[in-house]
Chain A
Amino acid sequence: MEVWYLIILNPILNVLIALTHFLGGQFGLAIIALTIIVRLASWPLNKRQLKSTKAMQDLQPKIQELQKKYSKNQQKLQQEMMKLYKEAGVNPLGCLWPMLIQFPIWIALYQSIMRALATTPENLLALHRHLYSWEVVRNAVPLGSEFLGLELGLTGSQNGPLGILLAIIVGGTMWVQQKMTQAPSADPRQQSTARMMTVMMPLMFGMLTLMFPSGLALFWAVSNIIGIVTQYFVTGGWGYLKVSSPFQSPAPKGK
């Protein structure tokens, strides 16, 4: 656990606090800036993930042909699809690995935000153990937690209407991002599962926004928006967002 603090958590925490100092004491701006920095730092991984998504999109016409051809033989369809993926050098689960690799960074970000907010007196006292002796860090603590009318240390539900609006933004942006990457499936069960996840995940994060401090929700919202924007430009359009069913609509052609 000490290694985790030393190598990941403490550097992110101190950078976050230093950013707050440089951004006029606005912790909300520091969260946004750090989210952008982390997104930039993980760009090579994100790019790979997006390219994998794009490749899957490009294969859609061929997949639809296969779906029509083997509509009554699911086993054969699966075999042919896997063959197609292999020939195209695409791993349908490949987009998950970059996400997994980035996960420790996201966890550290979550924890840094929570620690920096020092929502209780005990947390403020505990914060001193994690701070570097940088002057900018010393001068920035304790951080003010107000941003755009939100108290970043309070939960979404405690933030009233603004907190509910934030929950809608988090859920909405997550839904859009998921819809952009969610490839349609020939298997009705798979399709049903995918649809369920597309609804469940945004709902869940919307609920979490109401239960967790709004500083975290701000991070989720900004991260989702950056994800949507980069995905739009890298894959050249809204991806699968426009496609309601693989059997009714053509594969997305891009912008």
Chain B
Amino acid sequence: MKQARVFLLVLTILITSVLVSCAPGRGQAAGGWSGTAFHDGIIYSGTQDGRIVAVNATTRDLVWSRPMITEAAGGLGCGPAVVAAAIYTTPVATDGLVYVGTYTAQGGRMYALGMTDGEIIWEYPRGGAYMGAIVGDPVISDDTLYVGSSDGKVHALALSTFTRRWESERLADKLWTSPVVVGDTLYVTTFDGVIYALSAETGATLDRVFELEAGFATSPVVHGRIIYAGSFDGHLYAIDIDSAETVWRFPQGGAAGGWFWADPLVHEGVVYAGSLDGRLYLIDAETGDRVGDFDAGSPFVSSPVIMDDVLIVADQSGDVYGFELSSALQDRAVETVIARLGAEVESPFCASEGFAYIRADNTLYVVDIQARRIDWQSSLNAREEQG
């Protein structure tokens, strides 16, 4: 009997260890890293508990909050009846509507919410169906919304009729990047290291513009006839659309110390690219030569933005920097720190009318760029936001 007890005890310990060890091993749950959008004095963002919120930038009041809930979780049916979706997409606010995509274990949906009240005006797909879960931001061009999804396809939706215009063939295992529209062509980067050109009209694959051994981590950024895209191999690539040739690769020698995860920004002949190695690189857009760099010591997960000739970047640790575009970046860390948020910045952010609107963890920070301080902040947690 004693032997059996010992056996059972050991067995229980083993099983418990497996279950406990597997829990942290599964990593982080999908929480979403929706960025901020600013339109007509209102800040729109997704929250970590699956809501879209609209906050008045002047009065700082919550205008509305819309939970993006979804049906019962799968598995063994022991999950909650409804679960909150994760929001990775940054809301797109235009023409009286706010467009946002959702991410759940079952799949994703595109929603259009009323700009004034957050009411759901339409959803796609309808009738309880899902498309692949959505991570990359939707892009609107003319009357069409284009979005990539975890089913590996690009979906094009007609905004006038709220119906599907087309869906592309399956381009990859999953598409977590955003497409970019140039004229009548759509360019898409994939984790397989391919850049596709699709017809914006029909979704037909026109060409495999470029192929790389490693995958692309960023969405394509098109400037002129050049596509700029960061890779998991620690390089940033400039690819000529017409010749499908690599114009340059940065760094030219060995790889950077981390992935180029955040979309690069191209402005007046300079590419601004943050890397997960904690450096912001300035690269000559034409030659690929290094113009300068700045070592923040913390990864750059979100993309830089430019407002009034000031380059604004935020590193993952929550330090926000501002650089006069005319200045050299080296050794200016102390001078250039605008604000220390003390919270992780992993979301894209926007800047307008002298302020940067940054969602860090689950708090909205409004940073006054000229005054170099946090003007105000507001928790986006459901329980605290009313206070």
A interface residues with partner B (beta carbon < 8 Å) = 92-93, 96, 99-100, 103, 106-107, 110-115, 118-126, 128, 133, 135, 138-139, 141-142, 144-146, 155, 157-158, 185, 187, 189-190, 193-194, 197, 201, 204, 207, 210-213, 216
Contacts and interface: CB of A to CB of B under 8 A. Distances in A.
Q: Interface centre among A120, A197, A201, by most B CB within 10 Å? A: A120
B28 A120 contact: yes
Contacts of A211: 75-76
B20 to A, nearest CB: 9
27 contacts: A93-B3, A100-B10, A100-B14, A103-B17, A106-B18, A110-B25, A113-B25, A114-B22, A114-B26, A119-B27, A121-B88, A122-B27, A122-B29, A126-B28, A135-B233, A139-B214, A141-B215, A142-B215, A146-B173, A157-B74, A158-B74, A158-B105, A193-B8, A211-B75, A211-B76, A212-B22, A213-B26
A180 B21 CA distance: 27
B301 A125 contact: yes
A110 B29 contact: no
Q: Interface centre among B4, B6, B234, by most A CB within 10 Å? A: B4
Given A126-B27, A135-B233, A211-B75, 5 more contacts: A110-B25, A119-B26, A121-B88, A128-B259, A187-B4
B76 A122 contact: no
Contacts of A213: 26
A101 to B, nearest CB: 12
A141 to B, nearest CB: 5
Nearest to A154: B105
A216 B22 contact: yes
Contacts of A157: 74-76
Contacts of A193: 4, 7-8
Contacts of B30: 120-122
A142 B232 contact: yes
A115 B25 CA distance: 7
Given A92-B3, A142-B215, A158-B105, A123 B25 contact: no
A133 B256 CA distance: 10
A141 B232 contact: yes
Nearest to A122: B28
Contacts of B27: 114-115, 118-120, 122-123, 126
A110 B191 CA distance: 24
Interface residues of B, number: 50
Contacts of A145: 173
A142 B259 CA distance: 12
B130 to A, nearest CB: 12
A4 B192 CA distance: 31
B25 A190 contact: no
A118 B29 CA distance: 10
B17 A121 contact: no
A118 B135 CA distance: 14
Contacts of A144: 173, 192
Interface string B28-45: 111101000000000000
Given A125-B301, A141-B232, A158-B105, A107 B26 contact: no
Interface in B252-281: 255, 257-259, 261, 276
Nearest to B15: A204
- Interchain residue pairs A-B with the least CB separation, the first 6: A111-B25, A123-B27, A122-B28, A107-B21, A120-B30, A114-B25
B334 interface: no
B1 A138 contact: no
A114 B28 CA distance: 10
A133 B27 CA distance: 22
Nearest to A194: B4
A173 B160 CA distance: 56
Contacts of B255: 133, 138
A190 B3 contact: yes
A187 B1 contact: yes
A107 B17 contact: yes
Contact of B11 (A107, A113, A155, A197): A197
Nearest to B276: A128
A219 B27 CA distance: 18
A125 B345 CA distance: 13
Contacts of B26: 114, 119, 213
A161 to B, nearest CB: 14
Given A119-B27, A142-B191, A128 B258 contact: yes
A23 to B, nearest CB: 16
B237 to A, nearest CB: 14
A139 B31 contact: no
B187 interface: no
A125 B29 CA distance: 12
Given A144-B173, A190-B4, A139 B233 contact: yes
B74 A155 contact: yes
Contacts of B6: 93
B176 interface: yes
B281 to A, nearest CB: 17
Contact of B233 (A92, A125, A138, A158): A138
Interface string B294-315: 0000010100000000000000
B105 A121 contact: no
Contact of B21 (A96, A111, A135): A111
Interface in B215-257: 215, 232-234, 255, 257
B127 interface: no
A100 to B, nearest CB: 7
A155 B75 contact: yes
B213 interface: yes
B128 interface: no
Contacts of A185: 4
